[in-house]
């Protein structure tokens, strides 16, 4: 897990007073997912949601004035009710996918509910990741310091 | 929503995925500005290979070149990481709002589920 954290470009954590099983269902059942996925003013619909590893997911969000935003990806790891790993990208109007990233959501039972941790990191091939895990982060940190 | 930033972001992540190019960036961060010859000195690879790496870094917007008489100098661009920072800011906002909605929906369903 520490590798995942050190590689992360984005990390959010919060304690939610609900059981892991419920939260996992909100992420993986289409009827539940559409109720929270889209921002205010958008209506979400699930085009695909196949929670087998390798299965596709795709959610379309329609604004009342006609604007459309699509997010999609592939499930990589599905461990109910503890962990969900999937690729994630925006799609433009032509269906072309933007910068591809990986999202890891974990649900850990904690006193008073569930600790939910969401990591989103840049996506690269497994080979590239194995070769370059060490070093990228420190280069990135130094770059951030110098330009920040 | 995301399309405008994507080509530069892909180029930037791609450029930094290579260990030699990361080492070049580290070197430039430590030194500030170096001649192309000085950049190449620590590496046991051809000048041509170094030149190709510098091209990738320049195309990705990570470094810039300056020519003074017969010398060519390179340095890290001040705004090199701006696309990555915008990406992080935008996605942090997106997921924070999404988790707020998730939490509200979970709260609405929790008492019922616990009784059953």
Give me the number of domains chain A comprises: 1
Chain A closest CA to B74's CA: distance in Å? Answer: 15
A contact set with B (CB within 8 A): 9-10, 12, 14, 16-19, 22-23, 26-27, 32, 35-37, 39, 69, 90, 92, 96, 98-99, 116, 118, 120, 122, 124, 128, 131-132, 135-136, 139-140, 142-144, 146-148
Q: Do A146 and B29 lie within an 8 Å CB cutoff?
A: yes
Whether B109 sits inside 8 A of A22 (CB atoms) is yes
| Neighbour tally for A77: CB within 10 Å | 11
Q: Let me know if residue A119 belongs to a domain.
A: yes
Residue with tokens 């008489």: B69
Of B10, B99, B110, the CB nearest to A12: B99
The per-residue pLDDT for range B69-116, each reduced to its tens digit, is 989 999 999 888 777 777 778 888 999 999 999 999 999 998 754 444
Q: Is residue A137 part of a domain?
A: no
In a domain, A34, yes or no: yes
Give the CATH number of domain B3-76; options: 1.20.1250.20, 1.10.260.40, 1.10.10.10, 3.20.20.140: 1.10.10.10
For residue A73, the chain B residues in CB contact (below 8 A) are none
Q: What is d(CA A21, CA A19) in angstroms, rounded to the nearest whole number? A: 5
The reported pLDDT for the residue numbered A132 is 41
Domain locations in chain B?
A: 3-76, 81-116
Average pLDDT along chain A: 81
Joined tokens for residue B30: 């430590």
Query: Could you identify the residue written with the tokens 């707020």?
Result: B100
Assign residue A90 the CATH number of its domain: 3.30.530.20
Q: Which two tokens stand for residue A83?
A: 């962990």
Residues, chain A:
148
Q: How far is A66 from chain B (nearest CA, A)?
A: 14
Residue B3 in this model has a pLDDT that exceeds 70 = no
Of A52-61, A79-88, A136-145, B36-45, the poorest mean pLDDT is in: A136-145
CA distance B98 to B92: 10
Specify the pLDDT at position B51. Answer: 95
Q: Is the pLDDT of residue A60 over 80?
A: yes
- Residue of chain B with shortest Cα separation from A95: B3
Chain pair A-B, CB pairs under 8 angstroms: 109
d(CA B61, CA B83): 10
* A142 with B107: Cβ contact below 8 A: no
H/E stretch holding B16 reads: helix B6-16
What sign for the dihedral angle of Cα A100, B12, A106, B91?
negative
Strand partners, A56: A74
pLDDT at A100: 80
Residue B45, pLDDT above cutoff 60: yes
How far does the CA of residue A114 sit from the closest CA of chain B (Å)? 11
Q: What is the 3-state secondary structure (H, E, C) of chain A?
A: CHHHHHHCCEEEEEEECCCHHHHHHHHHCHHHHCCCCCCCCEEEEEEEECCCCCCEEEEEEEECCCCEEEEEEEEEEEECCCEEEEEEEEECCCCCECCCEEEEEEEEEECCEEEEEEEEEECCCHHHHHHHHHHHHHHHHHHHHHHC
Tell me whether residue A90 is in a domain.
yes
What domain range includes position A84?
2-123
Taking the alpha carbons at both ends of chain A, their separation in whole angstroms is 27
A99's tokens: 């910068």
| Residue B2 to residue A136: CA distance in whole angstroms | 24
Dump pLDDT digits (tens) for A88-139.
988 877 777 877 888 999 999 999 999 999 998 875 444 444 444 433 444 4
d(CA B100, CA A22): 15
Residue A49, CB-side half-sphere exposure with 13 Å CA sphere:
18
- Percent with pLDDT over 90 in chain A: 55
DSSP single-letter state for residue A95: S
- Please name which of B63, B52, B106 lies closest in space to residue A146, comparing C-alpha atoms: B63
Residue recorded with tokens 């972001």: B9
CB contact under 8 Å between A139 and B26, yes or no, is: yes
């Amino acid at each position: 897990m520490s590798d995942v954290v050190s590689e992360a470009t984005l990390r959010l954590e919060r304690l939610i007073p609900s059981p892991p099983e419920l939260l996992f269902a909100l992420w993986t059942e289409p009827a539940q997912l559409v109720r929270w996925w889209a921002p205010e003013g958008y209506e979400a619909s699930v085009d695909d949601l196949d929670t087998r590893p390798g299965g596709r997911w795709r959610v379309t969000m329609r604004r009342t004035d006609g604007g459309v935003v699509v997010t999609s990806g592939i499930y990589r790891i599905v461990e109910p009710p503890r962990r969900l790993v999937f690729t994630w990208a925006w799609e433009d109007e032509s269906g072309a996918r933007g910068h591809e990233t990986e999202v890891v959501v974990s649900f850990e039972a904690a006193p008073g509910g569930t600790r939910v941790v969401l990591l989103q990191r840049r996506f690269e091939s497994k080979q590239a990741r194995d070769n370059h895990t060490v070093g990228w982060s420190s280069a990135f940190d130094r770059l951030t310091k110098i330009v920040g | 929503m995301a399309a405008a930033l994507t080509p530069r972001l892909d180029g930037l992540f791609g450029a930094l995925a290579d260990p030699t190019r990361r080492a070049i960036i580290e070197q430039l961060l430590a030194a500030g500005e170096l001649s192309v010859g000085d950049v190449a000195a620590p590496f046991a690879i051809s000048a041509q290979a170094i030149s190709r790496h510098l091209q990738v870094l320049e195309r990705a917007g990570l470094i810039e070149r300056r020519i003074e008489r017969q010398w060519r100098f390179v340095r890290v661009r001040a705004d090199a990481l701006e696309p990555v920072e915008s990406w992080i800011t935008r996605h942090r906002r997106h997921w924070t709002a999404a988790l707020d909605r998730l939490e509200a929906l979970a709260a609405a369903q929790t008492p019922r589920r616990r009784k059953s």
